[in-house]
Chain A
Amino acid sequence: MGLLDQEFTEGNIVIAKTEDLFNWARLSSLWQVGFGLACCAIEMMATSASHYDFDRFGVIPRPSPRQSDVIIISGTVTLKMAIRVKRLYEQMPDPKYVISMGSCSNCGGPYWEHGYHVLKGVDRVIPVDVYVPGCPPRPEALLEGLLKLQEKIRNESIVKKSA
């Protein structure tokens, strides 16, 4: 029952709930903020490159937070950077999503005890939708994280956010 093969035979009309349509549109073109922090960012860039091809999920890096739907926190969030991360998040238009990538931004990672300069988890400054574990996570893990986020968006409701 794919949409494409019926597009011309079934009178060119697709009937759907606006909720499903919006969710489908949103989850199919998650534009990310072109933003990387540390070694996880290298892995994120590898995910964007041709071998793993983030673009097939509609994920493309945007040079401005105002054009973005998702921010991937890819690396160690230092206290100095946390203020900037928060500002970037606030500059994004709603609806907006956050993927926390790697141990550092999940919980502080290896800096959890003696990292005088590290924020112990980016969820202390911005709300996180999906946590991707790993140090750094392989591109497959980040893709899995994105699929989880898509799953979450697919079940959202206009009336109330399911998050």
Chain B
Amino acid sequence: MKTAEEIYNLLKEKFGESVIELKTDKPVDPFIIVDPITLDKICLFLRNENDLQFDSLMNLSGVDDANGTKEKDDIGLETIKGGTLSIFYHIESTKLKHKLTLKTSTSREKPEVVTVTDVWKGADWHEREAYDMYGIIFLNHPDLRRILMPYDWEFGYPLRKDYKNPEFYQGMKVPY
């Protein structure tokens, strides 16, 4: 059993600048913010280190922070420029009975995060869903396609805050 603070200190010692911050002031479990490009190495360490043994990825979820500047175009549609998209990783050690939350943020214009499928196999479909809903590109992912929306869906990523649904899809009217 290790607390988030102990794990943070371990990671900070090993990875330095790549481990950005430990957040404890939120009304949720404490989480560690890490760099999106060294994320896979950090995760591999979390899984393999003898007194951490995070062998299970419970959940992986995307978030649209919507913290950029909101712009209205000439027909009144609002788009968000700049800011970040985030991903949360909830991991657990089934052997040592401790849990941890990781967060990583990436730019909205070029949302690239390295995949963790080679650390936890189960991340595959979770990452495909995050790609499908937010357009986050997972670098080195073995099979990054849409998973829920149709493969030929070309109207963007539905869970982004500035998403607009199309009028028609394949001749079918979409709005009510």
What residues of chain B lie closer than 8 Å to A120, measured between beta carbons?
173-176
Taking the closest CB of chain B, its distance from the CB of A112, in whole angstroms, is 5
- A82 CA / B169 CA spacing, docked (Å): 11
Given A80-B149, A117-B148, A117-B158, A112-B172 contact (CB < 8 Å)? no
What residues of chain A lie closer than 8 Å to B170, measured between beta carbons?
79, 83
User: Are B175 and A79 neighbours in the complex by a CB distance under 8 Å?
Assistant: no
What residues of chain A lie closer than 8 Å to B163, measured between beta carbons?
116
Contact of B176 among A80, A83, A108 (CB under 8 A): A108
Q: Please, which residue of chain B has its CB at the minimum distance from the CB of A111?
A: B176
What residues of chain B lie closer than 8 Å to A107, measured between beta carbons?
176
Given A79-B169, A83-B170, A113-B150 contact (CB < 8 Å)? no
Contact with A along B98-129 (1 / 0, CB 8 A): 00000000000000000000000000000000
Dominant SS among interface residues on chain A: loop
Contact with A along B133-176 (1 / 0, CB 8 A): 00000000000000011100000001000010100011011111
What residues of chain B lie closer than 8 Å to A119, measured between beta carbons?
172, 174
Count of residues in A whose CB is under 8 Å from the partner chain: 14
Taking the closest CB of chain A, its distance from the CB of B25, in whole angstroms, is 32
A125 within 8 A of partner (CB): yes
- A83 CA / B173 CA spacing, docked (Å): 13
What residues of chain B lie closer than 8 Å to A79, measured between beta carbons?
150, 169-170, 172, 174
Count of residues in B whose CB is under 8 Å from the partner chain: 13
Tell me the A108-126 residues at the B interface (CB within 8 Å). Answer: 108, 112-113, 116-117, 119-120, 124-125
Q: Please, which residue of chain B has its CB at the minimum distance from the CB of A118?
A: B174
Q: Please, which residue of chain A has its CB at the minimum distance from the CB of B156?
A: A116
Question: Nearest 7 CB-CB pairs, A to B?
Answer: A80-B150, A116-B158, A120-B176, A112-B176, A116-B165, A79-B169, A124-B172
What are 14 A-B pairs with beta-carbon distances under 8 A?
A79-B170, A79-B174, A80-B150, A82-B172, A107-B176, A113-B176, A116-B165, A116-B174, A117-B148, A119-B172, A120-B175, A124-B172, A124-B173, A125-B172
Q: A117-B158, A124-B172 are in contact. List 18 more A-B contacts (CB 8 A).
A: A79-B150, A79-B172, A79-B174, A80-B149, A82-B172, A83-B150, A108-B176, A112-B176, A113-B176, A116-B163, A116-B174, A117-B149, A120-B173, A120-B174, A120-B175, A120-B176, A124-B173, A125-B172
